[in-house]
Amino acid sequence: AEIPVSPEKVSENAGKNAAIAISVTTEALPDTAKKAQKTALEKRIFNTFPTEEETPDSAVTVQIDNQSIAVKDSVINTAPMLATAGWLPEIPDINTIYTGYELSPDDSVETRDYSSNFKLDAVQVGGGYNTFFGVQGGAAFLFSDMLGNHTLYLSSELQFSDPRYSDFGLTYFNQANRWSWGVQAFQSSLSYLTAANFNQVGLIRDTYRGFNGLVAYPFSKFARLELTGGITWINEDFVVETYNFSGLDRETTDIGTFNYGLFSAAMVFDHSTYGPLGPSKGYRSRFSVETTTNDIQSTTLLADYRKYFRTSNRTVLAWRFMGAGSVGKDDRFFDIGGPYYYRGADYNELIGSNFLLSNLEFRFPMLPFLPPTMDFLSGAAFADAAGTWGINSRFYDNPTFQPFSNENGFRLNDLNAAVGLAARLNIGYFLLQYELAWPTDLQNFGSPVKRFSIGTFF
């Protein structure tokens, strides 16, 4: 389209209602296209804001193929369009269009200081009975204030046969400021089987009592520093339980009391997102150093790194690497067999003061043809590798770590590996899992390890 009006002429006529002639060349177009172009041109020109008052002088004449089209029904004020290169309607004043929404006077609202009163948020209760410990019951209570700045957690697990070995815990955490802090008081007990015959059982029972303090500082939403300190007393007893026709007789001998102080520092990173199959994207990691003093002396370093890849909308590839080492007069022992670390071995089969662990796992829905809301039933194919060393005793003899061996062909030596499958049912607070794991030394496969467990995955 060509408008035969010069910029100077436009400027002259900017203040008056002027008729504009527009010539459009359409000789090469068929009749149908000409009509379509004519209609589009009319819509483009006349899609403007008409003046409130019709005047004959404001009519616009459009010329197409030497045919004049007089617009009589639409009255257009062309002066604003000619005066500016681009014209927009006036923006209304928001202070005038919104009325009747005034705020109430300040003196009409009562002001009171915030009170951080605790309210009960959650309760969990359970109980059971077994022939070894007798009747047991536990309960946990979670309290917090309305803003979540203060949290109080109370837990207990009672052994009615001998309340001295019950577990208690009281934890308070304050998150009102950027520097978060918490305190804890606890009692817990552990038992170790030392000897047994047809009617007697010998146990070492340790009771831990202590206090801990925690300080945490977040550098961002994804990284924080944690500092922990505390003191723990350990009371150790030797318990002989004899089963006879009159019932159970228990004889307890006090071995002694020990104490140790604990100090630790850790950097924690969490840049992951969650889905029905657990973490589905990003990474998480924790790097810590821990030292103990007094009657138990050791220093422990630990690294834990986890990476997640979303391979599709409903599948995830997860990888974890862990490593730790403990040195000192009373170096710490790690037991990494079981459903949560190395799944090709059972508890107490892989123990050492040093360990390396790697888990690779592909997670998928068991019912992919159903909606994603059904992904609470999922499966996994996994491969684990782990090794422990650093103990030299009559029970465990692995002072060094030799991962591979070329004797009778290349195979794994101190490095353990397993592949397997798992089926999982996520019921909210619990994850029920059944798994099969086949240990291998890269030459042969062993008998599958079958296990049912309750817990979480990495």
For the stretch 311-340, pLDDT in tens is 999 999 999 999 999 999 888 889 999 999
In whole angstroms, give the CA distance from residue 224 to residue 268: 5
**CA terminus-to-terminus distance, the chain:** 68
Structural domains present in the chain: 7-96 (no CATH), 130-454 (2.40.160.50)
CB 357 within 8 A of CB 341: yes
Nearest to residue 165, comparing CAs of 125, 192, 144? 192
Look at strands 397-398 and 391-392 and give their pairing.
antiparallel
Across 55-80, average pLDDT: 47
| Cβ density class 391-409: b for 16+ within 10 Å, e for less | beeeebebeebeeeeeeee
Across 422-449, average pLDDT: 90
Q: pLDDT value at position 61?
A: 52
In whole angstroms, give the CA distance from residue 388 to residue 374: 39
CB 198 within 8 A of CB 223: no
Contacts of 12 (CB under 8 A, 6+ apart): none
In whole angstroms, give the CA distance from residue 447 to residue 141: 43
- Integer CA distances (angstroms), 133 to 124, 196, 209, 247, 391, in order: 21, 16, 20, 14, 31
For the stretch 177-221, pLDDT in tens is 999 999 999 999 887 777 777 777 888 888 999 999 999 999 999
Identify the residue with better confidence: 37 or 361. 361
Q: What is the DSSP string of 428-446?
A: SS-EEEEEEEEEE-SS-B-
Contacts of 380 (CB under 8 A, 6+ apart): 361, 362, 363, 364, 421, 422, 424, 457
Q: pLDDT value at position 132?
A: 58
Percent of the chain with pLDDT over 90: 45
In whole angstroms, give the CA distance from residue 344 to residue 342: 6
What 129-138 contacts at long range (C-beta under 8 Å, 24+ apart), as own/partner pairs, is 133/159, 133/161, 134/159, 134/160, 134/161, 135/159, 135/160, 135/161, 136/160, 138/167
Q: pLDDT value at position 292?
A: 95
pLDDT at 127 > cutoff 70: yes
In whole angstroms, give the CA distance from residue 136 to residue 125: 11
In whole angstroms, give the CA distance from residue 323 to residue 303: 5
Q: What residue type is assigned to position 327 of the chain?
A: V
